[in-house]
Amino acid sequence: MDNKIRQEMDKIEIPKELNNRVLLGMENAKKDYKTPNQLKPEKKNDKKRWSPRKKIIFFSSVAVMLFGLFVSSAFVSPVMAKVISNIPYLGSIFQSESIGSLIFDELEEKGYKINGTGIEYKPKKELEVRIEGSDEYFNGVKDDIEKTVKGILKSKGYDAYSVKVSKEPALNDYDLNEEEMKEKLDNETEGIKITKGADKGSQITPAIAEGLMSKKKFKVTGVSYKEKPLNFIISTSIPSSDPEAKALGTEIESMIVEFLKSKEVLSILGNESYEVIVNSKDKKKIN
């Protein structure tokens, strides 16, 4: 958290009924803080990334905790609103759950029989939720689940996804051979593996991808990175001949650089240099 935000937060008077809860939460956050481990981005041919049944959630920022407390209470002051607005967009994503995990948790909390959530970027951006159970159960909850998911996406400002609710085939419908079973188990555990010494790009890129690809206005169709030298490569759907191409490329670069200069990301990057490359639809650099 930068000094400006910290100074503004220090000015806030916390109501007595929240004081103990906030102080306790801040202490717990400091004790439990861990740098979020992010998964390596999907390979080109991987269509979906499914969120795991079991997830490890870290409270990686006091700012995130305070955001939740004040927004859910009646004590949102103009000063607090200003502080919240100053938290970088990509930084807030980096410090929270992925959208797939967020939706999974919300639906599971409501008691739905969720098998998993996945995001497909090609040929279109689609968020899919898979449901377990009978046909009768699926037909009874499908519309409610779709409505809930759309509400979560709207609350995050994610307007680039369509929503698909599908039924997970029963396991006894098809007997998997040994190779298929191994692949299934690998896919189910992939999301909860924490690899020591993971490269820097793999820890940072998922937040950039979610933040840019989830909103139509950025026109982002792909996010990748290259190591040594470290490059973050952003693909867009805007032609280089479009009069707004340069402005869009500059805006995207500025957001990423702001994110990469945040305290949390600097703890990963260290002194390593990097380059942000924003490409047009016709593969020309526009930043």
**Residue 214: which of 158, 139, 277, 287 has the closest Cα?**
158
User: Of 70 and 122, which is predicted with more confidence?
Assistant: 122
CATH number of 200-279: 3.30.300
- Tokens read off for 189: 């555990």
Weakest mean pLDDT among 9-13, 188-192, 253-257: 188-192
What is the reported pLDDT for 28?
A: 45
- pLDDT of residue 97 exceeding 70, the answer is yes
Q: Half-sphere exposure (CA, 13 Å, Cβ side) for 138?
A: 15
What is the reported pLDDT for 110?
A: 95
The model's pLDDT over 202-259, given as tens digits with 9 standing for 90+, comes to 999 999 999 999 999 999 999 999 988 999 999 999 999 999 999 999 999 999 999 9
Confidence bin at 73 (pLDDT 50/70/90): very low
Query: Residue for token digits 């890129």?
Result: 205
What is the reported pLDDT for 180?
A: 63
**Strand ordering across the sheet containing 162-167:** 48-50, 114-120, 126-131, 162-167
pTM: 0.60
Secondary structure of residue 153 in the 3-state scheme: helix
- pLDDT of residue 126 exceeding 90, the answer is yes
CB 137 within 8 A of CB 143: no
The C-alpha atoms of residue 230 and residue 67 are separated, in whole angstroms, by 32
Task: Taking residues 114-133, report their average pLDDT.
Answer: 90
| DSSP H helical ranges for 86-235 | 89-94, 99-109, 135-156, 178-190, 200-213
The C-alpha atoms of residue 262 and residue 258 are separated, in whole angstroms, by 7
Confidence bin at 176 (pLDDT 50/70/90): low
For domain 38-57+98-194, is the CATH number 3.30.300? yes
User: Of 64 and 229, which is predicted with more confidence?
Assistant: 229
Residue 220 carries which DSSP code? E
The model's pLDDT over 136-154, given as tens digits with 9 standing for 90+, comes to 999 999 999 999 999 999 9
Confidence bin at 87 (pLDDT 50/70/90): low
Show me where the domains of the chain are located.
1-32+58-96, 38-57+98-194, 200-279
Secondary structure of residue 166 in the 3-state scheme: strand
Weakest mean pLDDT among 17-31, 179-193, 207-221, 238-252: 17-31
Domain 38-57+98-194 shares a fold with domain 200-279: yes
